[in-house]
């Protein structure tokens, strides 16, 4: 398919069927495009919409985001997962605010120097916010182009993704770049879907190799399956005599970095000693059913255990990384979804 014909087909389809009412498509700015693109990484549009709206209400510009504590950013991110995105968002906001006077770089190279912004995200910001021709290759676009060109292999492999970048660059237009970028993302999200592509509605079906072969779902190639290891832990819902729950803040780096979590022990046998080390006397404890939370690289099987304690010496005080949490008057803290679900079932 010729370059001009490809572009024309995609844009004509977008003019009739493209999404134009998403929150980040209103009052377009580099800041709003950037936040939406980060949120949309590995997260569905329907999930992102309310988070984006709350985020913009609290942090309407990059200076507001830069000025707020990281813990407030993590609080607004609670439930979206992949919290490194939120930490990088905060770092980038501070860099843009402090070193760029609040203005985002308008080049791919400049954008890619900022934490959490890769080549495709930079392309989206450039094309949508700055109207500068730039190529994108997010998950939806990878799927469209892998099927259209019958590019074999899992796009997580460097050689496969490089082939797809070449295809994407081949068809990226000089004009109407913002519409084209949105069109390609919409095409993958609404027509060329993962399991049930609606090829009869696709403007590219007539030249799509996978469609001609009748094996659309074979592209892109599947990620090699691996058996995830299982880790086990006990999450302690430690209550004091006032009914408050003890929360501790994780270090900035690592799993659930910077988030507020419940104290953990390896087994129930460690509970009394762990509480004693904090100056807490255990009154009673009872266990709940083991639950599972899956990360990208392992399963976490955790047993919630309610532990009622007495802090006779008032030795456990609120500090910068430890608080007594009142469920009736909750603090605005960033927490991982499993912890939030235990605190507010």
Domains of the chain, start order: 3-217 (1.10.340.30), 230-343 (3.90.79.10)
* Predicted local confidence at residue 345, as pLDDT: 82
> Which residues are tagged catalytic?
37
Q: Is the Cβ–Cβ distance between 100 and 30 less than 8 Å? A: no
Burial 301-326 (b: 16+ CB within 10 A, else e): ebbbbebbbebeeeebeeeeeebbbe
Write down the pTM of the prediction: 0.88
Of the pLDDT bands very low, low, confident and very high (cuts 50, 70, 90), residue 313 is confident
Burial 204-216 (b: 16+ CB within 10 A, else e): bbeebebbeeeeb
Rounded to a whole number of angstroms, the CA Rg of the chain reads 24
Least confident of 266-275, 299-308, 309-318: 309-318
How far is Cα of residue 312 from the mean position of the Cα atoms in its chain? 42
Mean pLDDT, the chain, rounded, equals 95
Q: What is the 3-state secondary structure (H, E, C) of 148-161?
A: HHCCCCCCCCHHHH
Tokens 């993704």 belong to which residue?
Answer: 161
* Predicted local confidence at residue 296, as pLDDT: 87
Of the pLDDT bands very low, low, confident and very high (cuts 50, 70, 90), residue 259 is very high
Of the pLDDT bands very low, low, confident and very high (cuts 50, 70, 90), residue 232 is very high
* Predicted local confidence at residue 332, as pLDDT: 87
Give the 3-state secondary structure of residue 202.
coil
Pairing of strands 322-325, 260-261: unpaired
* Predicted local confidence at residue 292, as pLDDT: 97
* Predicted local confidence at residue 128, as pLDDT: 98
Strand partners, 292: 301
End-to-end CA distance of the chain: 54
Q: Which residues contact 44 (CB under 8 A, 6 or more apart)?
A: none
Question: What are the φ and ψ backbone dihedral angles of 305, each rounded to 5 degrees?
Answer: -130, 120
* Predicted local confidence at residue 243, as pLDDT: 92
Q: Note the maximum CA span of the chain.
A: 78
Q: Residue 228 above 80 pLDDT?
A: yes
Query: How many angstroms separate the CA atoms of 256 and 340, rounded?
Result: 13
The average pLDDT across 93-107 equals 97
Strand partners, 234: 265, 303
* Predicted local confidence at residue 316, as pLDDT: 79
* Predicted local confidence at residue 63, as pLDDT: 98
* Predicted local confidence at residue 92, as pLDDT: 98
* Predicted local confidence at residue 317, as pLDDT: 75
* Predicted local confidence at residue 165, as pLDDT: 98
């Amino acid at each position: 398919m010729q370059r001009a014909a490809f572009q024309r087909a995609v844009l004509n389809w977008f003019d009739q069927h493209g999404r134009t009412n998403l929150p980040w498509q209103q009052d377009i700015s580099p800041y709003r495009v950037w936040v939406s693109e980060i949120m949309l990484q590995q997260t569905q549009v329907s999930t992102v919409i309310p988070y984006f709206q709350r985020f913009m209400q609290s942090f309407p510009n990059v200076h507001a985001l830069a000025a707020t504590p990281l813990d407030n950013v993590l609080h607004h991110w609670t439930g979206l997962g992949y919290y490194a995105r939120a930490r990088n968002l905060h770092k980038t906001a501070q860099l843009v605010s402090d070193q760029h006077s609040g203005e985002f770089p308008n080049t791919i190279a400049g954008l890619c120097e900022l934490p959490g912004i890769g080549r495709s995200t930079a392309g989206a910001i450039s094309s949508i916010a700055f109207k500068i021709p730039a190529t994108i290759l997010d998950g939806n676009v990878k799927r469209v182009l892998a099927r259209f060109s019958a590019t074999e292999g899992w796009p997580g492999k460097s050689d496969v993704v490089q082939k797809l970048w070449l295809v994407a660059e081949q068809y990226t237009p000089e004009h109407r770049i913002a519409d084209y970028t949105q069109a390609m993302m919409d095409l993958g999200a609404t027509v060329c879907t993962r399991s049930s592509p609606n090829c009869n509605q696709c403007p590219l079906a007539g030249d799509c190799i996978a469609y001609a072969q009748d094996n659309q779902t074979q592209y892109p190639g599947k990620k090699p399956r691996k058996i995830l290891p299982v880790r086990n832990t006990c999450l302690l819902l430690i209550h004091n005599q006032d009914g408050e729950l003890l929360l501790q803040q994780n270090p900035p780096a690592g799993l659930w970095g910077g988030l507020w979590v419940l104290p953990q022990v390896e087994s129930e046998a460690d509970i009394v000693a762990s509480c004693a080390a904090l100056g807490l006397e255990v009154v009673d404890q009872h266990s709940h059913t083991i639950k599972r939370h899956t990360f990208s690289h392992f399963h976490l099987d955790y047993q919630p255990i309610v532990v009622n304690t007495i802090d006779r010496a008032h030795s456990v005080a609120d500090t910068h990384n430890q608080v007594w949490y009142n469920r009736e008057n909750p603090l605005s803290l960033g927490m991982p979804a499993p912890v939030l679900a235990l605190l507010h079932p």
